[in-house]
Amino acid sequence: MGGDAGESAAVSALSWVLQSLDSMPDFIVVGAGIAGLRAAIELAGAGQVLVIAKESLRESSSEYAQGGIAAALGEDDSVDLHAQDTLAAGDGLSDPEAVRVLVRSAPAAISELIEWGAQFDREDSRLALGREGAHSRRRILHARGDSTGSEIARTLYRRAASLPGIEFRSFSAVTDLLLAEGEAAGVVVCDAASRKSLAIPARAVLLATGGLGQIYPVTTNPEVATGDGIAAAYRAGAELADLEFVQFHPTALRLEGAPPFLLSEALRGEGALLLNSEGERFMPRYHPLGELAPRDVVSRAIVHEMERTGTSHVYLDARPLGEEMLRRRFPRIYQTCLQYGLDLAREPAPVHPAAHYAMGGIWTDLEGRTSLPRLFAAGEVAATGVHGANRLASNSLLEALVFGARAGRAMRELAGATVRENGRPPSALFPSTTVQQLRSLAWEHCGIIRSGAHLARACGMLETMPLAGAPQPSRELFEIRNMHTVIWLIARCALARRESRGAHYRTDFPTKDPAFQKHSRISRNHDVEFF
């Protein structure tokens, strides 16, 4: 929809929404992953809470998180060491105060999950702690070996569903924010059942929409991760930060007929090795930590090895772990590979990097507030400052948990705010392109290794794509619009950062520049700036 027609259609549907919901919400939480569910739990009792899921309530990035959740619980560990590792991985851009909040909150957050029924793996009666890349201690908790995100999400959903005042709505893709007097006033959803765009007003909105990995042709993210929250926030005028930093996981399965299934970093933490097509272990040539180097280093090393040997993949050799450990510690990974004819205990797995996690997103303070009043963000869609230029492994589930709770508490302060039912969405114009074309452009121009020429070309191509309205826009059209916006934002921010830092690597500026030890910011109202 575009212009006044789009606005009137959304508003005319309001009566339908009033009839379909048990009651009008005070608070809207967009996303049913860990960040959204934890915020909803915190909001219970402050008013009616509506949790909106784009697909089913189980389809989120949280469900697919294998590696684990980090917390300084070991006798040889401390929150200070956890902070040091996080800051080191962030390559000079992690915000120290945000990191302190994260690591200090971790032990209590884990205890709370256990109290609510989360079943983490144990060795005898003690919590089992693993180690992953760039961690100096064993501090990674897992559940059912490699199903940690699923276990935490299950625990939070059961807790949220048991509380009064929380309602869930699935198969409703949020396409835009409602705006009134310069503030967030609700959301517009593309409802799968009615095939209508529906306006839902609220006192405050939390975006917990997850990642953007689906803008790339190879990703570990679920199909719903098309950057919707970032694009909606940008159109509404909110500030975004650090979008140039996209983490590519080094080891996604590269097997004909199989999806790019994630082979957890924890495999390397337990002793799996990376081999090139010649059967040679290569990581020690690139970093003293070898296979446990930061993910950006490992991903680029793999790309270099593939280019050097003229192959489309390298190999992850998990045979040193043995079949018993693979079956016990990584049951989901082991069984999934077996389904596609690959026995990890007997042969190396072909792997290559895949888009995995966005360090940047909607800028927030430490309480989840964005630059747009009454709009909050938490989880991967938010830029809290924790991850900097490169996320430390297994900090993402923890960040979603800690900052989801903090955002929920801050939103409670708006329990008495006025609900504005005159909110209007931005007009909807759709680019003339396809999902495949956008993904190809993103991979070629905004991928693991970048250059100014490629980034400038991407910006030009995206900026000159024709835009038009649509009489009956579908979810796919809305996703194409969001992907187009997000790729342009990444390209624009990456072009402005004339250095290489963390997950952002440019061949024309291959070293770090102290002048760019700052966060990028961009919004609809201003081009890229550094703070």
Give the model confidence (pLDDT) of 281-330 as tens digits: 999 999 999 998 888 889 999 999 999 999 999 999 999 999 999 999 99
The CATH number of the domain covering residues in 248-355: 3.90.700.10
- In angstroms, rounded to a whole number, what is the distance separating the alpha carbons of residues 475 and 345? 42
CA 203 to chain centre: 25
What count of residues does the chain have?
A: 531
Ramachandran region, residue 40 (left: φ > 0; alpha: ψ -120 to 50; beta: rest): alpha
Domain spanning 430-530: CATH 1.20.58.100:
yes
Burial of 471 (0-12, 13-18, 19+ CB in 10 A): exposed
Helix (H, G, I), strand (E, B) or coil at 214: helix
* Nearest CA among 307, 288, 289 for reference residue 507: 307
pTM, two decimals, is 0.91
Give the model confidence (pLDDT) of 109-123 as tens digits: 999 999 999 999 999
Count other C-beta atoms under 10 Å from residue 456's C-beta: 14
Q: Give the Å distances, CA to CA, from 26 to 70, 165, 335, 406, 437.
A: 33, 10, 44, 18, 40
Structure tokens at 473: 């826009």
Location of structure tokens 């402005």: 496
- In angstroms, rounded to a whole number, what is the distance separating the alpha carbons of residues 418 and 143? 42
391: DSSP letter: P
Q: Are 117 and 155 in contact (CB under 8 A)?
A: yes
For the chain, which residues make up each domain, given as ranges? 26-245+359-426, 248-355, 430-530
* Per-residue pLDDT at 93: 98
- In angstroms, rounded to a whole number, what is the distance separating the alpha carbons of residues 403 and 37? 11
Which positions are annotated as active-site residues? 295
User: Do the domains spanning 26-245+359-426 and 248-355 agree at the CATH topology level?
Assistant: no
Structure tokens at 431: 């680019």
- In angstroms, rounded to a whole number, what is the distance separating the alpha carbons of residues 22 and 6? 26
Q: Are 500 and 509 in contact (CB under 8 A)?
A: yes
Domain spanning 26-245+359-426: CATH 3.40.50.2300:
no
* Per-residue pLDDT at 66: 57
Q: Are 380 and 361 in contact (CB under 8 A)?
A: yes
Give the model confidence (pLDDT) of 199-239 as tens digits: 999 999 999 999 999 999 999 899 999 999 999 999 999 99
* Per-residue pLDDT at 6: 38
Location of structure tokens 């606005």: 7
- In angstroms, rounded to a whole number, what is the distance separating the alpha carbons of residues 367 and 406? 5
Within 8 A by CB and 6+ apart from 326, the residues are 318, 333, 334, 344, 345
In one letter, which amino acid is 476? E
Outline where DSSP puts E strands in 451-493: 467-468
Ramachandran region, residue 483 (left: φ > 0; alpha: ψ -120 to 50; beta: rest): alpha
| Regions of the chain where pLDDT drops below 50 | 1-16, 18-19
**φ/ψ (deg, to 5) at 314:** -120, -165
* Per-residue pLDDT at 22: 62
**Beta-bridge mates of residue 274:** 316
73: DSSP letter: -
Report the chain's C-alpha Rg in angstroms: 22
- In angstroms, rounded to a whole number, what is the distance separating the alpha carbons of residues 249 and 197? 36
